[in-house]
Amino acid sequence: MLLVGARDASQLLYRDELERWREGDDGLEVLLTLDRPDEAWPHRTGVVSALLPEAGLDPKASTVFMCGPEIMMRFAMRDLEALGMPDERLWLTVERNMHCGVKLCGHCQLGPWFVCADGPIFRWDELRDLIGVEEL
């Protein structure tokens, strides 16, 4: 299952592909939502984390991969924890301002991690206490 959200339709990436996947018969279920839809929006309204209960996640078998703004990931990960998802099945990709790409400049540092070299993909338990800390 693929859950996709955006603030409004203009910020929804790969819209044509998402619609094609939604209508396809390949078994991929795609749920789309917008925070601020216009009257023509035919799908759900709200933040993407509101779709999590519908995803049918099995804490023993499901794995979540998430990308997006750090604030959204922080709240969604906490919602996933509430659904019983274990840390080892929760992954996020972090995008930080990278310059050198080899751990020298510090622009992408996130606590003890350098996103350019140690990431950009991290397990939730590695970032839980770091995501949302300003100026970190």
Is residue 135 a part of any domain in this protein? no
- What is the span of the domain harbouring residue 53? 2-93+122-127
Is residue 36 a part of any domain in this protein? yes
d(CA 70, CA 67): 8
**Bridge partners, 45 (sequence order):** 34
pLDDT tens for residues 28-73? 899 999 999 999 999 999 999 999 999 999 999 999 999 998 889 9
Across the range 72-85, mean pLDDT stands at 94
pLDDT tens for residues 83-97? 999 999 999 999 877
**CATH number, residue 77:** 3.40.50.80
